[in-house]
Amino acid sequence: MRVYSIFRSFDGESNGFSGPGESTTFVRLAGCNLVTDTNPGCVGCDTKYAQDADAGREMSVTEVLDRIHTNKITITGGEPLLQWSEGDQNLEMLVDKLVKERKKITIETNGSMALPHKGRKGLRFIVDWKLPSSGQETQNLMDNIYLMDVRDVFKFVVRDRKDFDRATQIIRGMLSGRKKAKVSIGCIWNELDLQTLWTWVQEEKLDVQLNIQLHKMVWGDDSNKVEDDVGKV
Ligand code: SF4
């Protein structure tokens, strides 16, 4: 599989398990399906370096496993599900090995591809539900609402009030009354402050988890540089 970086750190955001601060190994896969000749991808994408399917290098499942020394693993991208069943060394094989070792696994996805759940114990999905300011709202795959369960997390990343109002609409509409995934809401670093966001949440009486970006609080705008320093494969 095509891997951009592997590095040991902590989860900065909701992870479906203990949440921000949990020790983890990040495995960042290369390539993003939202970036095409006609689509520049998400406005404000903070992992542009992993958008290119040729970024990083090819690694076998064994090579990746050899670099994991934590009980928790966070698989991210780019869009990691692009490589779920692609090739003879793919993400599904890696996940199945990790499940066998009873690891805790989070896959962070942009929500445009169907979740391959199949009831694997220890595997949770964080689905980034795209809001208007991302420019990618039409890419949300509605069926994922029915594929997610109580172990998974819907993540809303809010830039402005318009984004917040759309998130509220979805939480009260499509997500209400279902035996559903957890819902977390956070804001874009340096563009909206958590206090304002949480005031809106309180006013609207939303029953959601505040998603902080702990890695930004620790590393600030250097968090990507830290990844390159320690993790680039
Ligand atoms: S889906 Fe992720 S990697 Fe792709 S453009 Fe959006 S934020 Fe960037």
The stretch 104-116 carries a mean pLDDT of 97
CA pair distance 231, 165, nearest whole angstrom: 37
For residue 123, what pLDDT band results from cuts at 50, 70 and 90? very high
CA neighbor of 79 nearest in space, from 36, 50, 46: 50
H or E segment and range at residue 30: none
Find the radius of gyration of the CA atoms of the chain: 17
CA pair distance 203, 45, nearest whole angstrom: 29
Token pair for 29: 């896969």
Which of 51, 129, 134, 141 best tests ligand 1's pocket when mutated (most atoms within 8 Å of CB)? 51
In which residue are the tokens 């759309």 written? 166
Rounded to the nearest 5°, which phi and psi values hold at 203?
-60, -35
The stretch 61-76 carries a mean pLDDT of 97
Look at residue 232 and tell me whether its pLDDT is greater than 90. no
Token pair for 201: 């949440």
The stretch 145-165 carries a mean pLDDT of 94
Q: How far is the CA of 133 from the centre of ligand 1 (A)?
A: 13
Q: Is 158 left (phi over 0), alpha (psi -120 to 50) or beta?
A: beta
Which of 39, 110, 126, 133 best tests ligand 1's pocket when mutated (most atoms within 8 Å of CB)? 110
Taken as a whole, the chain contains a residue count of 233
Look at residue 201 and tell me whether its pLDDT is greater than 90. yes
Q: How far is the CA of 196 from the centre of ligand 1 (A)?
A: 25
Q: What is the pLDDT of residue 177?
A: 67
CA neighbor of 129 nearest in space, from 81, 168, 73: 168
Q: Is 31 left (phi over 0), alpha (psi -120 to 50) or beta?
A: left
* Predicted model pTM: 0.95
The stretch 5-11 carries a mean pLDDT of 95
Which domains does the chain show, CATH number per domain? 2-231 (3.20.20.70)
The stretch 101-123 carries a mean pLDDT of 94
Beta strands in 42-98 (DSSP E): 57-58, 72-76
